[in-house]
Amino acid sequence: MAISDSFHIYDTTLRDGAQQEGLNLSVHDKLTIARHLDELGVGFIEGGWPGANPKDTEFFKLAQTELKLKNATFVAFGATRRPNVKAADDALLRALQDSGAPAVTLVAKSHDRHVDLALKTHLDENLAMIRDSIHFLKAGGQRVFLDAEHFFDGYRSNPAYALEVVRVAAEAGADVVALCDTNGGMLPDELSQIVHDVLGKSYARLGIHCHNDTGCAIANSLAAVAAGATHVQGTLNGYGERTGNADLVSIIANLQLKKKQQVLPEGALHEAFRISHAVAEVTNVAPSQRQPYVGISAFAHKAGLHASAIKVDPALYQHEDPSSVGNDMRMLVSDMAGRASIELKSQELGVDIGTNKEVVTRVVERVKEMEAVALLRSCRCLIRASASRRVRWKTRTFLYCRIMGDRCR
């Protein structure tokens, strides 16, 4: 089933996500990840900034022949023209036009202070830069989105100017104006109110682009959608600069499973776990075990009380069926385990213990005994390490224990 253009899932893993510390993608990596994203069924894949660096320029050149997308539209990212330069004479704008991408996202200043201090130009010239750049790319047949950088901070500082940026972009022909929480400092109630206000004061189609510096990027994105945004940007697994971007996996799952809004092709959400981990392999960034929906611990249960309820009905302690995103339920066995934990774990492992209560009881008792011994050995290890090495700090003691392993007994 093709997804309607009335709502956009827009991925920026290859550009904004690649700005994460310790994450470095080759051209081949970017091609591989783009194919995974297309398989997931996102509507738009932002490939990078052609003309700004050799790697992205090569990637866009290769993409024209090597990247065959079934679901997504390929997008080039770049900036508006430079101050006091004609759009046709701006080398980076021409690179966007020559990129082969059917769509372009332009980043533009919407905070008056940034126009003054970063661009070092006048407010009116910034508006002209937005207008001219959109006209130039539209004339070449490309679809244009605008990322209104630092929009929410700008709106709180000078709402009239921030709104003027939105108005000028929409009138120039931008299909979407994405409001960016670039510094990631917004909270859902504040952000939602601003999106609502902007929709009431303009006719622009709005999108949302959130960073996670308050830990609210996913919540902020969903709040924007609830307020009327119809274009959501994010990265797979929440990759991104500083504390990351909004995690598209969670946004998609929440919209589709909680809000019953079909945002991916039919059946594609079942591939979320596999694709999330496949992309993590390419990035060489270990996936978070506790990542919502697709972390390996997302549907893992340790407490015996939980296991007893799950044995009756998994929905008693799970907010969704893990198979909806391609994940699995797991039972963890520890000193917290009860009979139900062992019974469910045996089923998970394919071991038939039947209905023999005596066997289950023996296993539970043995697990608790072994956990107690392990704890005792850990304490003994800590004491010996501290005494023999006169380690003062706990972190060093634990590191010493880890290094010594079985010898530390």
How confident is the model over 142-180, as pLDDT tens digits? 999 999 999 999 999 999 999 999 999 999 999 999 999
Q: Sorting pLDDT into bands at 50, 70 and 90, what band is 364? A: low
Give domain limits for the chain: 8-283, 300-349, 357-407
What pLDDT is attached to residue 339?
A: 53
The whole-angstrom distance between residue 307's C-alpha and the CA centroid of its chain comes to 31
What pLDDT is attached to residue 29?
A: 97
**DSSP one-letter string for 246-264:** -BHHHHHHIIIIIS----S
Least confident range from 20-24, 200-204, 312-316: namely 312-316
Architecture of domain 8-283: Alpha-Beta Barrel (3.20)
Least confident range from 196-210, 249-263, 378-392: namely 378-392
What pLDDT is attached to residue 387?
A: 40
Nearest to 251 by CA among 217, 274, 282, 301: 217
What are the tens digits of pLDDT across the range 112-151? 999 999 999 999 999 999 999 999 999 999 999 999 999 9
SS3 (DSSP) at 232: strand
Q: Sorting pLDDT into bands at 50, 70 and 90, what band is 318? A: confident
The two structure tokens encoding residue 317: 């302690």
Least confident range from 269-273, 344-348, 385-389: namely 385-389
Q: Positive or negative, the Cα torsion across 391, 396, 400, 402?
A: positive
Query: Distance (Å, rounded) from C-alpha 363 to C-alpha 401?
Result: 29
Nearest to 208 by CA among 19, 46, 48, 9: 9
Helix (H) or strand (E) holding 171: helix 159-172
Helix (H) or strand (E) holding 148: strand 143-149
Helix (H) or strand (E) holding 260: none
Q: Are 166 and 177 in contact (CB under 8 A)?
A: yes
Query: Distance (Å, rounded) from C-alpha 191 to C-alpha 185?
Result: 10
* Half-sphere exposure for 294 (CA within 13 Å, toward CB): 27
Query: Distance (Å, rounded) from C-alpha 170 to C-alpha 127?
Result: 12
Nearest to 147 by CA among 184, 120, 113, 109: 109
Phi and psi, residue 145, nearest 5°: -110, 155
What pLDDT is attached to residue 241?
A: 96
What pLDDT is attached to residue 401?
A: 44
Q: Tell me what the mean pLDDT of segment 340-355 comes to.
A: 64
- Cβ neighbours of residue 351 closer than 8 Å, sequence gap 6 or more: none
Q: Sorting pLDDT into bands at 50, 70 and 90, what band is 249? A: very high
What pLDDT is attached to residue 390?
A: 44
| Residue 57 reports pLDDT greater than 90 | yes
Least confident range from 139-153, 204-218, 271-285, 361-375: namely 361-375
Percent of the chain past pLDDT 70, that is, above it, reads 78
332 burial level (CB within 10 Å; 0-12, 13-18, 19+): middle
Query: Distance (Å, rounded) from C-alpha 218 to C-alpha 234?
Result: 9
| Residue 381 reports pLDDT greater than 60 | no
What pLDDT is attached to residue 329?
A: 77
Q: Tell me what the mean pLDDT of segment 261-285 comes to.
A: 96
pTM of the model: 0.84
Answer with the residue of higher pLDDT: 358 or 31.
Answer: 31
Label residues 221-234 b or e (16+ Cβ within 10 Å = b): bbbbbebebebbbb
Beta bridge partner(s), residue 180: 209
* DSSP, res 84: T
Beta bridge partner(s), residue 207: 178
Q: Tell me what the mean pLDDT of segment 356-377 comes to.
A: 59
| Residue 262 reports pLDDT greater than 60 | yes
Q: Sorting pLDDT into bands at 50, 70 and 90, what band is 405? A: very low
pLDDT, the chain, mean: 86
Q: Enumerate long-range contacts of 342-351, CB under 8 Å, 24 or more apart.
A: 342/367, 343/311, 344/307, 344/310, 344/311
Query: Distance (Å, rounded) from C-alpha 397 to C-alpha 393?
Result: 6
Q: Sorting pLDDT into bands at 50, 70 and 90, what band is 403? A: very low
Percent of the chain past pLDDT 90, that is, above it, reads 73
Query: Distance (Å, rounded) from C-alpha 280 to C-alpha 294?
Result: 12
Give, in order, the Cα–Cα distances in Å from 294 to each of 251, 263, 370. 12, 18, 31
Q: Sorting pLDDT into bands at 50, 70 and 90, what band is 379? A: very low
Query: Distance (Å, rounded) from C-alpha 318 to C-alpha 310?
Result: 8
Q: Sorting pLDDT into bands at 50, 70 and 90, what band is 397? A: very low
